[in-house]
Structure 1
Amino acid sequence: MSEVAERAARTWEVTLDELAVSGTNEVWFARRGDHHVVVKAGNREARRREAVALAAFSHSSARLLEHDALHGVLLVERVLLGDDLLPLARVDDDASTAIIGRLVRSLHSEQLPLDAGALPPLASLGEVFERSDDPRLPSALVRKAASLFAELTADAHGVVLHGDLHHFNVVRDGVGDSADRWRAIDPHGWVGDPTFDTAPMLANPRALTLAESPDVALLVSAAAAERRIAILAEATSFERDRIRAWAFTAAVIAELWMVEDHNLVHGAPLALAEALAPTV
């Protein structure tokens, strides 16, 4: 147990039950009295942004209970049952896509006031294009994504964004029946174009495949993406063209990050970008 987690447990009168994630970022399943909670420790700025976003989202996400800004620690409600959307996506992709679309709409429509400058603008993501010169990624695709990104972020108007709303960050609140609802966890925290929050689930096609395969790229198709885009558009009232443009751009950004952080090309986001390129 890290010193930071131990201090948080004492300060907030929490019993740490299980270390769920270790390393640079530490995540503990815990209890505070009769309530199940999560203690998250790690990068101070990342935890600060997560705290700001959770506070803005109100009841559509896990509730923020405490935030130690000095030490970079959060105490967050643990959503139970807590299973994510991937099992549903494997048997009913349309239903899981609609759930994410409705959650996007809910996250954006029920926000609490936010202090100016509390979260970075989405436009700052574009800095990755300035560092993109790896020959493993098609230069024409990267240039197209950079141009689209500039257009998509030209409007200064925005809302608090989750920033990473894919199947693993949408969890079940309930007991497994028809009264259950789905809530968001682990936001990155940005301010920008609302349509961006539809992109992570489209730019992460591994989670959307109905069967496992060592060659994920073969399971990515424009037809599958277009079906999901149509469902998201109906659930959110966003324009299909804008959802498609963000899916393409976010997929390229995901691969740029993979190259920058891990010196490898993932493959699945690149396959999605190549499938969508003719239509954006």
Structure 2
Amino acid sequence: MLARLHFVVDIALSVAFTRNVKERWGDAGLKWLAGLPELTARLLRDWDLRLADPLPLSRNWVSRVHQADGTTAVLKLGVPETGHLADEATALECFDGRGAIAVLARDDARGVLLLEDARPGIQARSLVPRRDEEVTAALIGIIKRLHRPAPAGVELPRLSRRGASFARHLHRFPGEHMLPRHLVERAGSLFGELCATATGPVVLHGDLHHDNVLAAEREPWLAIDPHGVVGDPGYEIGAMLYNPDPAGADDTVLGLVEARMEQLADGLGMPPERVVAWGFVQAVLSEVWTFEGNGVMTGRPLRLARRLLPLLPD
């Protein structure tokens, strides 16, 4: 009986990447990491790809690859049990290349995507703060191109489900701890109100900010890495208010918030009070998620929430 052939490639997995996967997905993550070299090798063979430039890693393994015709693409692998790459692919297919990269191939069972390579791929964050108005205009343009009514039966999670994070946090941490309880309570209540008064459900990127928008050739800017969720269009603006991570003084980004909110309200035709409300809600939600993940917070979203609290309607 012939021995089973194993195909493996030598891929570099940093300590930080391995730790992130273990902390986020536990045993499923460990199993995925162990099989990643063999899985990658089989994908390269099955899809006729060759590894090219490695890309920064967070919780997915990502690399540029050469396709059979010589063009480049991006190969992205994630823990299949989570379903997050399937949601990403579905959202990108709904966007259909308008304002976002295209899906070239997907294998949900193995947690794999082959994606359009946005070149030159410079992140929008590189223009902040010196050209922030220009960048905000670009993000507004992307939102307008991405947002379409959610197709009937689309298999994406509903935004309203994210509201459970506030209740879960309040139950798990009954005291003040690092995240003030009154902020979580107010954000949870306001989140429900905003979802209940949605202007019409659209397919949302769900994590649209300066690190997830790249300079490209097919369109001036293309979005990457969507979470894929269906809900109120206003949710899209929250993450861009406290991003990107500043290269200099930590309050640089927060000093741009008022101008950004005014530009977003005007550019999207959204009531200013709704822009403020979604900014506050998402700032608190970001800290809730970060605290649940590793017990610490970045601090900047919390400072944004405190800054926006007095601007909320009574």
The two structures have a TM-score, normalised by structure 1, of: 0.89
**2:62 is matched with which residue?**
27
Larger-gyration structure (1/2): 2
1:244-271 alpha-carbon deviations (Å, 9 max, x no partner): 1111000000001111001102100000
Is residue 2:113 matched to residue 1:74?
Answer: yes
Q: Quick one: which of 197, 200, 205 aligns to 2:236? A: 197
SS at structure 2 position matched to 1:90: coil
Alignment of 1:178-197 (within 5 A): 181-197=220-236
CA distance, structure 2, for counterparts of residue 244 and residue 50 of structure 1: 27
1:163-197 alpha-carbon deviations (Å, 9 max, x no partner): 011001011113xxxx9611111100000001111
Query: What code does the residue aligned with 2:192 have?
Result: A
Q: Gaps spanning 5+ residues in structure 2: where?
A: 1-10, 12-36
After superposition, the Cα gap between the structure-2 partners of 1:135 and 1:102, relative to the gap in structure 1 and judged at 3 Å, is: same
Indicate if the aligned counterparts of 1:24 and 1:42 stay in contact, CA closer than 8 A: yes
**1:4 is matched with which residue?**
39
SS at structure 2 position matched to 1:142: helix
Q: Quick one: which of 33, 40, 52 aligns to 2:90? A: 52
Q: Quick one: which of 150, 153, 160 aligns to 1:116? A: 153
How far does residue 239 in structure 1 lie from its aligned partner after superposition?
Answer: 1.8
The two structures have a TM-score, normalised by structure 2, of: 0.80
CA distance, structure 2, for counterparts of residue 158 and residue 243 of structure 1: 17
Query: What code does the residue aligned with 1:184 have?
Result: A
Is residue 2:49 matched to residue 1:14?
Answer: yes
List, as ranges, runs of 4+ consecutive aligned residues in structure 1 with deviation greater than 3 Å. Answer: 21-24, 218-221
After superposition, the Cα gap between the structure-2 partners of 1:139 and 1:114, relative to the gap in structure 1 and judged at 3 Å, is: same
After superposition, the Cα gap between the structure-2 partners of 1:231 and 1:23, relative to the gap in structure 1 and judged at 3 Å, is: closer
Alignment of 1:216-235 (within 5 A): 216=250, 218-219=251-252, 221=254, 224-235=256-267
CA distance, structure 1, for counterparts of residue 253 and residue 182 of structure 2: 20
SS at structure 1 position matched to 2:208: coil
Aligned residue pair count: 267
Indicate if the aligned counterparts of 2:204 and 2:231 stay in contact, CA closer than 8 A: yes
CA distance, structure 2, for counterparts of residue 269 and residue 106 of structure 1: 27
Indicate if the aligned counterparts of 1:203 and 1:250 stay in contact, CA closer than 8 A: no
Q: Gaps spanning 5+ residues in structure 1: where?
A: none
SS at structure 2 position matched to 1:243: helix
RMSD: 1.9
Indicate if the aligned counterparts of 1:205 and 1:269 stay in contact, CA closer than 8 A: no
Query: What code does the residue aligned with 2:50 have?
Result: T
How far does residue 43 in structure 1 lie from its aligned partner after superposition?
Answer: 2.6
Of residues 195-204 and 264-273 in structure 1, the stretch that sits farther from structure 2 once superposed is 195-204
